[in-house]
Structure 1
């Protein structure tokens, strides 16, 4: 048994905790215990399976906080060869660890349908993770900050973001997002909004600049077009405005001069004209 490379026990009625003796399977590459009745915490000894590339513990009754297991030296973060991690449909109260990006081979991460209500900052970007656009994969937490930079997002800006009413920071840059700037996003009162390096198009909703909370907006390198409306100066708290490398046109609104806190302004590579 010590030479076992795959252990598939999916869809049975196994219950209790994952036995510590599993660490004797030193050559194990795939461990699938999904769709059982396993409970207790994700055990720290899982981290000793250093050759594991796929771990599926989904659809069980695993409980408690995963952070105490993940941040331990003998933890999931020790699984440097891991490509797939599936913990969906459990009862975990999760804090996604900041060092999850250290799993350089990880391509699939599913933590959906757990209890993440205590999570304030959700950063998934700038690693090798690709977010599945499946509509069922939606963070149930209410984070203050959400970063999904370079996560392979496609199509329109995901509507489920509108459910996160507490959001103050949103970074969806360096993806493949398309479509118009949604009205619901303009109405969310986000303080920092970064959508640069996508393929978004169309004009900007006028209500976007009516927010007094808006401090940073970066829309550079998209396909936005149309004129900058006169109410752009209503965002008097704006400090950074990055609109370069789009298809904006017309005259630059003089109301920008009302932005007394503005520190960085980029209007380069557009189609503006008139007196500077």
Structure 2
């Protein structure tokens, strides 16, 4: 690899290469972009990069790599994609040394333990994806100190306890900031030829910003896995805590996330009422709080969500009139309201005048009358 030490970009994605990752890659002292995704690399040993090397982007996703999440990258790395592998154990403490990371994707592994507090020290994070792992415990309250975080996906884990009210402090989800990736400004345009004694001959001409090489971010949005184009990442803010074991009420403070585009709290054990503060989610396009134990009426403030295009309130214990408004009137898919106690409204073509009283209320009234009759009879 001697003649390749000045290589800036190495892309070997999708070539069915197997075996361990060659440690000699770390000898490429000027390497800035490394893409080994969608191969069959395996093992738990990884190249040991010089902490001061130039590496900014590493994509090892969709392989068969195992062991603990590797942290042997340059301290200046911006993008680290390790999803769809076989990583396990807890997240290592020295991951926090990579404090310039903007994009950390670890989804679809077997990472366990609690979500560590040290993630809150990674102050440059814009995207944190731990979807579909085995993490347990609660969400660290200090995670809200990540002022640049715009996409947070902890869905499909074993997280429990309550959703911390401190999430209201995620300032990137409150106000819009035009945060552009610094990767494109650090990798210059050039032509690179990978030598014949390497895995393949590959000529790459980089004439545009290198962030075009980023894969689309896969998000579970509106009941489907969708690829969110990289060029649009900075336009979206997502919070996905679905398919966990969260209990308690939805924090009223969550209504302060005014820049949030998608909120998914479905398939948990949440109870209580839908907060009135949801009406403050001015930018919200998608909300899914289905498959919980929420009760009471849907708050009238949902009519204030003028950007809303998807709503799922199904499989709860909601009752009463579905709010009406410019966008709410278009949320007329009956499946979005199915399996509740007694919802009514024009969206589901059920007149609120014809909705019978709640069965439990009827039962309580009947018991009350019976008790009053018995009491009167005995007092006579």
TM range, normalised to the smaller chain? 0.5 to 0.7
State the distance in 1 between where 2:83 and 2:250 align. Answer: 37
Post-superposition shift, 1:40? 3.8
* Cα distance in 1, alignment partners of residues 239 and 282 from structure 2: 16
Matches within 5 A, 1:139-158: 140=146, 142-158=148-164
1:176 aligns with 2:182: no
CA distance in 1, matches of 2:309, 2:163: 24
Return the index of the structure with the highest Cα Rg: 2
Counterpart of 2:291 in structure 1 is: 221
Tell me by how many angstroms 1:112 deviates. 2.1
Match of 1:53 in 2: 67
Question: Which is richer in helix?
Answer: 2
CA distance in 2, matches of 1:138, 1:208: 22
Would the aligned equivalents of 1:88 and 1:113 in 2 still touch at CA under 8 Å? no
CA contact (8 A) 2:127 2:151 kept: yes
Which residue does 2:267 correspond to in 1?
197
Per the TM alignment, residue 63 of structure 1 is displaced from its structure 2 partner at its CA by 2.3
Taking a change above 3 Å as real, the CA distance of residues 122 and 218 of structure 1, as seen in their structure-2 partners, is: same
User: Any idea what the Cα deviations from partners look like across 1:166-195, whole Å, max 9, x if unmatched?
Assistant: 223211100111111111102222221111
Aligned partner (choices 112, 119, 130) of residue 112 of structure 1: 119
**Comparing 244-253 and 257-266, the one that deviates more:** 257-266
Give the distance between the partners of 1:137 and 1:232, measured in 2 at CA: 29
Q: What is the TM-score with the length of structure 1 in the denominator? A: 0.65
Gaps of 5+ in 2: 1-22, 27-42, 174-236, 345-349, 352-380
Post-superposition offset of 1:147: 1.4
Matched, 1:65 2:80: no
Matched, 1:235 2:249: no
For 1:29 and 1:238, locate their aligned partners in 2 and report how far apart those are by CA, in whole Å: 45
Whole-angstrom distance in 1 between the partners of 2:96 and 2:285: 37
Q: Distance in 2 between matches of 1:134 and 1:171?
A: 12
1:148–1:173 CA contact under 8 A, matched in 2: yes
CA distance in 2, matches of 1:222, 1:120: 29
Shift of 1:88: 4.0
1:61-97 CA distance string (max 9 Å, x none): x722164xx56xxxx7898565344124425311444
Deviation at 1:52, TM superposition (A): 6.7
Q: 1:212 aligns with which of 282, 290, 294?
A: 282
8 Å Cα contact 1:203-1:226 kept in structure 2: yes
- Length-normalised TM-score, structure 2: 0.49
Cα distance in 2, alignment partners of residues 80 and 173 from structure 1: 22
Aligned-residue Cα RMSD (Å) equals 4.0
Q: Within the alignment, does 1:94 sit opposite 2:164 as a pair? A: no
Deviates more, 1:148-157 or 1:231-240: 231-240
Deviation (angstroms), 1:222: 0.4
Question: How many aligned positions are there?
Answer: 228
2:168 pairs with 1:162? yes
